[in-house]
Chain A
C-alpha cells in the first residue's frame, strides 16, 4: 500500500497524510531490478566470466540506488517548498551523475571490471524498468501512485481493515 508522510506541509497545497508516489515507484523499480537481476548476472557471467558477473551486479546496484536516491530527494524537497523541489531535483541530477561517475572510476581501477556488460546492464535495466513501470502507474487522481491491486486479490478482511 501507499505510505504516507504525515509531516508533509501545505506549501504546495497538500494536506497532511498525502501519499509519496515517487517513493512507491522507486521501491517498485528496485524490487523489479531484483527480479530481473538473475538474467543480467547470467548474461554477464556467461559472456565475460566473473568480471562480467561483478560488473553487471555493480550496474544493477547503481540503477536501483539511482532511482531510490532520486525519489528520496524529491520526497524530502517537497516537504520544504516548490522552489526547494526545483533546486533539489536539478542539483540532485548532477550529484547522482557525479556519484555514478565516482563509483565507476573507483571500480574500474580493479582488474575485475568489464565495461561492456556494465554498459549493457546499466542502459537496458534503466530503460527497461522504466518502460515496465510505466504500465503499472495509475493515472487516477484518487490513487496517485501505483495501480491498486485488482479487487479479486483483496480479501474482504483486508478491505475492511483499510
Chain B
C-alpha cells in the first residue's frame, strides 16, 4: 500500500517538475529573441530617423528580421508544448 502511494506521489512530482521545466524553458527561450527584436527595431528606427527616404526599406528589413528572430522563440514554444504533461 505504501509502495503504491509512494509511486503515485513520485509520478505526480515528475509531472509537476515537467510542467515547471516547460514553463521555465519557454520563458528563458523568449528572452533571447526579445533582446534580438529590440536590437533589430532599435537599429531600424535609427535608420529611419537618419534617412527618412529609406524608411520603406528599413521597415521591410525590420519586419523580416523580427520574423527570423521570432523563429528562435518558436523553437522554445515547440519545446514547451512537447514537454507539457
Residues of A within 8 A of B (CB): 12-14, 18-19, 21-22, 25-26, 66-67, 70-71, 74, 78, 82, 85-86, 89-90, 93-94, 96-97, 100-101, 104, 108, 115, 118-119, 122-123, 126-127, 130, 133-134, 137-141, 144-145
Contacts and interface: CB of A to CB of B under 8 A. Distances in A.
B78 interface: yes
Contact of A19 (B26, B53, B56): B56
A123 B71 contact: yes
Contacts of A138: 60
Contact of B56 (A18, A67, A101): A18
A128 to B, nearest CB: 10
Contact of B71 (A19, A21, A130, A145): A130
B20 interface: no
Interface in B10-53: 26, 30, 33-34, 37-38, 41-42, 45, 48-49, 52-53
A24 B14 CA distance: 47
Contact of A22 (B33, B63, B82, B84): B63
B42 A97 contact: no
Contacts, number: 115
19 contacts: A13-B48, A13-B52, A21-B63, A22-B59, A22-B60, A22-B63, A74-B63, A85-B41, A90-B34, A97-B77, A108-B84, A119-B81, A122-B78, A123-B78, A126-B70, A137-B64, A144-B57, A144-B60, A145-B60
Contacts of A26: 63
A62 to B, nearest CB: 10
A101 to B, nearest CB: 7
Contact of B57 (A97, A115, A139): A139
B9 interface: no
A93 B66 CA distance: 9
B35 to A, nearest CB: 10
Contacts of A127: 71
Given A104-B81, A141-B54, A25 B63 contact: yes
Contacts of A122: 74, 77-78
B37 A93 contact: yes
Contact of A74 (B59, B71, B75): B59
Given A85-B41, A145-B60, A119 B78 contact: yes
